[in-house]
C-alpha cells in the first residue's frame, strides 16, 4: 500500500481530489446564488403585479372646490407610478440577464471540470492503476494523519524547548543555590568546631572537611552505571573528583573529554558511561527521560567531621585509631562543654583514666557548674568531691531495690561520713593512704585555688 501511495499518479490524484472538494463548495455556492436570483425576480414581479397603482389614486369628484388641483396632483403621481413601473421592468430585465450569465458560467464551469476529470481518469487508466478512488481516500487519510503528526511534533518541539529551559534553570540557577545553602551550613560547622576546640583547650581537636563524605554519591554513581560494566576504581574516581552537578552536566552535554579529564579516567570509560546513561534513560515508548540522572544532582555531599585526641605533646590521633577508653575520653570531653542542657553521665570512670577524670571532668565541672547542671552516677571521689558537687545522694541497695541513705552537700557531716565510707573505704582506709602517700602541702587550700586559677 505504501508503494502505491508513493506512485506519482496518486500525487496527482490527491491534487485532483482537493479541487473536487472545492468544486462541491463552488457548486453549492453558485446554486445558492441562482436560487437567490430566482427568488429576487419572483419577489420583484409579485411586487409590481400587486401594486395596483391606479386603484390607490381614485378619481376625485368634480364638484369639489379643488377638483382641478387634485386631478393635477393625481396625474403627477400616476406619472411617477408609471416611471416606477418602468424601473421595475428594467430591474426584472437586469435580474434575468444576470441569471442568464450565471447559468452560462455554471455550464462552462461544469464542462471545464468534466474535461479535467476525464483527463485525470484517463491518466490513471493509462498508468494501469485500479481502485484509484479507494487509494486516493487512503492517501487523503494518510495526509491528514501526517498533518496531525506534524502538529504534534511542533507541540513536542515547544515542550522540548521548555524542558531544556527548565533543565538549564535547574543546573545554572537552582542547584547552585541549593549547594550554596550547604556552603553556609559548612561555615557554621567550622565555627562551631573551632569554638569546641578552644573550649577544650585543644585537648580534643575538631575540624570539618567540606563535602568529604561521598558515600551516598558513590552509591548513586553505582546505581547510575549499573549494566555499563565500569569497574569500581572508575566509579570511585568519578564520585571522589566531581560534584553531582558536574557529573550531570558532563553526561547531558555528552562531554566525553571533559568528563575523562575531570574524573581522571580513560576517555573510552567516560564515553561508555555517557552512552549507557543515554541508552537506559528511555521509557517504554522510547522517549528520552533523564530524570534518574537529574535526581543525582540533589545527592548531598555531606561534610565530614574529624575528631582527634591529643595523645602527647602536639601529637593527635583520629577517633578511628583510638582505643575504646580514648574514644570515650574524646566524646565525654565534647559532651561536657557542648550545650546548656543538663548532662547525665553514668560512671564515667569505668572507661576513663584517673588523670583524665581530674584534668577534664573535675576542672570542666567546676568551671561550668553555675551555668549548667551535671548529674553523675559514680564511685570516684574526684567526680563527687573534687568537682565540688552541690548535692550528693549516697545510696544503698538490696537484691531487689535501692534506697537513699544520706543526701546533702559535702559540708554536712552525715553526708561527708557516708561519702568517705562509700568512696574512700572509710576513715581508716583514707588515713592509711594519706600516710602512705606522705604528701605535705604548705597551704592545703592552695590546691583548690590552683584548680580555679588554671581555668
HEC letters along 117-156: HHHHHHHHHHCCCCCHHHHHHHHHHHHHHHHHHHHHHHHH
Q: With a cut of 60, say whether residue 5 has pLDDT above it.
A: no
Q: Which DSSP state fits 423?
A: I
Residue carrying the nine cell digits 427568488:
39
The pLDDT score that the predictor gives to residue 217 is 93
- Enumerate the domain spans of the chain: 2-130, 215-300, 323-454
Which strand (E) or helix (H) includes residue 322? Answer: none
Residue carrying the nine cell digits 577544650:
200
Stretch 46-59: mean pLDDT, rounded? 61
Q: With a cut of 80, say whether residue 364 has pLDDT above it.
A: yes
pTM: 0.56
- Of residues 43 and 50, the one with the higher pLDDT is 43
Taking only the tens place, the pLDDT of each residue in 128-175 is 656 656 666 776 787 888 888 888 888 878 877 787 787 778 778 887
Residue carrying the nine cell digits 462541491:
24
SS3 of residue 264 by DSSP: coil
The pLDDT score that the predictor gives to residue 299 is 87
Is 394:406 a contact under the CB 8 Å cutoff? yes
The architecture of the domain spanning 323-454 is: 3-Layer(aba) Sandwich (3.40)
Stretch 69-97: mean pLDDT, rounded? 70
- Nearest Cα neighbor of 54 from 84, 81, 89 is 81
Least confident stretch, 230-244, 398-412, 440-454: 440-454
Average pLDDT, the chain: 80
Amino acid at each position: 500500500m505504501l508503494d502505491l501511495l508513493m506512485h506519482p499518479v496518486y500525487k496527482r490524484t490527491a491534487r485532483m481530489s482537493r479541487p473536487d472538494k472545492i468544486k462541491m463548495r463552488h457548486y453549492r455556492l453558485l446554486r445558492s446564488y441562482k436560487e437567490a436570483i430566482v427568488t429576487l425576480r419572483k419577489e420583484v414581479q409579485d411586487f409590481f403585479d400587486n401594486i395596483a397603482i391606479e386603484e390607490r389614486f381614485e378619481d376625485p369628484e368634480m364638484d369639489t372646490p379643488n377638483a382641478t388641483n387634485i386631478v393635477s396632483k393625481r396625474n403627477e403621481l400616476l406619472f411617477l407610478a408609471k416611471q416606477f413601473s418602468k424601473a421595475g421592468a428594467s430591474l426584472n430585465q437586469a435580474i434575468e440577464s444576470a441569471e442568464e450569465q450565471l447559468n452560462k458560467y455554471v455550464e462552462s464551469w461544469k464542462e471545464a471540470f468534466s474535461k479535467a476529470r476525464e483527463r485525470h481518469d484517463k491518466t490513471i487508466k493509462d498508468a494501469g492503476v485500479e481502485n484509484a478512488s479507494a487509494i486516493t481516500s487512503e492517501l487523503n487519510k494518510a495526509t491528514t494523519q501526517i498533518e496531525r503528526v506534524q502538529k504534534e511534533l511542533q507541540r513536542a518541539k515547544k515542550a522540548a524547548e521548555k524542558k531544556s529551559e527548565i533543565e538549564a534553570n535547574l543546573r545554572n540557577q537552582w542547584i547552585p543555590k541549593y549547594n550554596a545553602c550547604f556552603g553556609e551550613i559548612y561555615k557554621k560547622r567550622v565555627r562551631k568546631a573551632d569554638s569546641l576546640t578552644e573550649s577544650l583547650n585543644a585537648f580534643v581537636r575538631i575540624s570539618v572537611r567540606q563535602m568529604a563524605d561521598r558515600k551516598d554519591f558513590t552509591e548513586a554513581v553505582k546505581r547510575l552505571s549499573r549494566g555499563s560494566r565500569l569497574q569500581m576504581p572508575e566509579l570511585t574516581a568519578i564520585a571522589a573528583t566531581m560534584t553531582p552537578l558536574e557529573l550531570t552536566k558532563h553526561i547531558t552535554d555528552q562531554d566525553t573529554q571533559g568528563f575523562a579529564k575531570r574524573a581522571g579516567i580513560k576517555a573510552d570509560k567516560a564515553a561508555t558511561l555517557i552512552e549507557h546513561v543515554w541508552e537506559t534513560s528511555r521509557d517504554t515508548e522510547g522517549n528520552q527521560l533523564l530524570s534518574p540522572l537529574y535526581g543525582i544532582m540533589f545527592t548531598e555531599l555531606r561534610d565530614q567531621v574529624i575528631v582527634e585526641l591529643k595523645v602527647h605533646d602536639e601529637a593527635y590521633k583520629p577517633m578511628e585509631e583510638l582505643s575504646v577508653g580514648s574514644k570515650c575520653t574524646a566524646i565525654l570531653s565534647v559532651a561536657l562543654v557542648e550545650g546548656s542542657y543538663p548532662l547525665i553521665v553514668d560512671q564515667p570512670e569505668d572507661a576513663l583514666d584517673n588523670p583524665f577524670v581530674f584534668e577534664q571532668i573535675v576542672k570542666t565541672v567546676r568551671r561550668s557548674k553555675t551555668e549548667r547542671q551535671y548529674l553523675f552516677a559514680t564511685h570516684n571521689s574526684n567526680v563527687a568531691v573534687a568537682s565540688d558537687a552541690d548535692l550528693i545522694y549516697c545510696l544503698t541497695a538490696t537484691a531487689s531495690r535501692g534506697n537513699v541513705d544520706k543526701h546533702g552537700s559535702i559540708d554536712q557531716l552525715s553526708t561527708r561520713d557516708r561519702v568517705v565510707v562509700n568512696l574512700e573505704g572509710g576513715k581508716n582506709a583514707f588515713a592509711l593512704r594519706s600516710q602512705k602517700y606522705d604528701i605535705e602541702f604548705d597551704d592545703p587550700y592552695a590546691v583548690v585555688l590552683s584548680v580555679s586559677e588554671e581555668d
